[in-house]
Amino acid sequence: MSEYLISIKIEKLEEGGYLATSDTLSGLIAQGRSIAETMEIAQDVARKLIESYIEHGDPLPYEIEPSKNVMQDVKIPISVIA
């Protein structure tokens, strides 16, 4: 099993929920009720897209990096009811 790193953008929708897209992996569009749900859906969509590239023998976009167990500084959303 291989792991890849891609960049995604998440934006808040006016009608509620969030939308994730990627300039790195065209065709990646995911929508969810929360940022966490949107990220989870985006991972699933990205996995299916990358598997399709591999199954068809197509080269992956050059921006997609194989993961090398690199730790990254990542900000995560935390919802708190106060």
Burial class (CB in 10 A: 0-12, 13-18, 19+), 41: middle
What is the topology classification, in CATH, of domain 4-66? Double Stranded RNA Binding Domain (3.30.160)
Span 32-61, pLDDT tens digits: 999 999 999 999 999 999 999 989 999 888
Predicted confidence (pLDDT) per residue in 12-29, tens digit? 999 999 999 999 898 999
Q: How confident is the model at residue 67 (pLDDT cuts 50, 70, 90)?
A: confident
- Its pTM stands at 0.79
Q: Tell me the domain boundaries of the chain.
A: 4-66
Q: Check residue 27 and give its pLDDT.
A: 93
CB atoms within 10 A of CB 28: 21
pLDDT value for 63: 82
